[in-house]
Structure 1
Amino acid sequence: MNELKNSLNGTGLKVAIAVARFNEIVTDKLLDGALRQLQILGVDEKDITVAHVPGAFELPGICRRMADSNKFDAVMALGAVIRGETGHYDVVVNNSTSGIAGIAAEGKVPMILGILTTDTVDQAMNRAGLKAGNLGCSWASTAVEMANLYKQI
């Protein structure tokens, strides 16, 4: 039996992060957590590329370009969609997540879905490190682990 080994060693990996500016009070914290964790895992700052886009709806487009560029070992999409009083939330969540999932399913590069979907700002802030852990850190660890798994195949 041949078993692929999980590794959180980010040395030599190139990681792209697309981050939505909308709800930036949350997404800035997610980005900070992701950057901090990538560096803890050994990813060199010069090997991290960050692209800011207007909102979560724009994430799949830039992530597609990043994945297709063959420049990165993993691509992360960070955003926060907070439910409002209209149906816009459902449109943005459904389209952004399905767009990211489509890129991931192609299997060219690990595509990490880091879009918070919450009912309130408080819930989003809690998941961005205010009370509990910062999910940006978790998603960065996932990016490194998946990049290492892909390299073994």
Structure 2
Amino acid sequence: MKRIEGSGSGASLRICVIDTQWNDFIVGRLTEGALATLHRSGVDDGNIAHVTVPGAFELPLACKTAAETGRYDAIVALGCVIRGATTHYDFVAGEAAKGIAKVGLDTGVPVVFGVLTTETIEQAIERAGTKLGNKGAEAAACAVETANTLKAIKEAE
């Protein structure tokens, strides 16, 4: 049996981080965590693109556009949708999740969902670098490992 798995080394990878302006006080922390993780994993700063879109609903189209360029080994999608008093949350969070997943399946480029979907601002803060870690950093680590895993699958004998 041959075991195939990717490494956490980003030395040869090209990564696109796409984040949102909406809830930027939270998303900025996710982006900082993602970029720091990419640098720690060895991704060269010249191999990182950083794109910002207005909100989570726009993430899937930006991810698709980036994936279709063929320039990136993985894409990290970062945002934050906090439930409010209306159904707006359900539409935005659900469509962002479905769209981001579809981009990865349609293009073969790993697109990691780093969009916080929380009930409260406190929950978002906890996931953006305080007591529950930084979900942006986790998404970046996942992107590196997934890109390496897919490369290993393609190169396996």
- Shorter-normalised TM-score: what interval? over 0.9
Runs of 4+ in 1 over 6 A off after TM superposition: none
SS of 1:138 mapped into structure 2 = helix
- Alignment root-mean-square deviation, CA: 0.9
How far has the Cα of 1:105 moved from its partner?
2.0
Tell me how many residue pairs correspond in the alignment. 153
Given that 2:6 and 2:147 are in contact with CA atoms closer than 8 Å, whether structure 1 keeps it comes out as no
1:1-153 equivalences in 2 (<5 Å): 1-106=1-106, 108-152=108-152, 153=154
Structure-2 separation of matches of 1:130 and 1:2: 39
TM-score normalised by structure 2 residue count: 0.94
Contact 2:68-2:107 within 8 A present in 1 as well: no
Deviates more, 1:94-103 or 1:130-139: 130-139
Distance 2:139 2:94 in 1: 20
Structure 1 residue 34 displacement after superposition: 0.2
AA of the residue aligned to 1:130:
T
Residue 94 of structure 1: how far off its partner (Å):
1.1
User: Partners of 2:5 and 2:23 in 1: how far apart?
Assistant: 37
Q: CA deviation at 1:31?
A: 0.1
How far off is 1:23 after superposition? 0.3
Tell me the percent identity.
Answer: 42
State the 1:107 CA deviation: 5.2
Q: Shift of the alpha carbon at 1:147?
A: 0.6
Distance 1:19 1:137 in 2: 13
- Opposite residue 52 of structure 2, the aligned amino acid is H
Between stretches 4-13 and 104-113, larger displacement belongs to 104-113
Of 14-23 and 131-140, the range deviating more from structure 2? 131-140
Taking structure 1 as the reference length, what is the TM-score of the superposition?
A: 0.97
Q: Deviations over 1:86-138 (max 9, x none)?
A: 11000101111100011122351111011100011110010001222111111
Which residue identity is paired with 1:113? F
Q: Which amino acid aligns with 1:125?
A: I
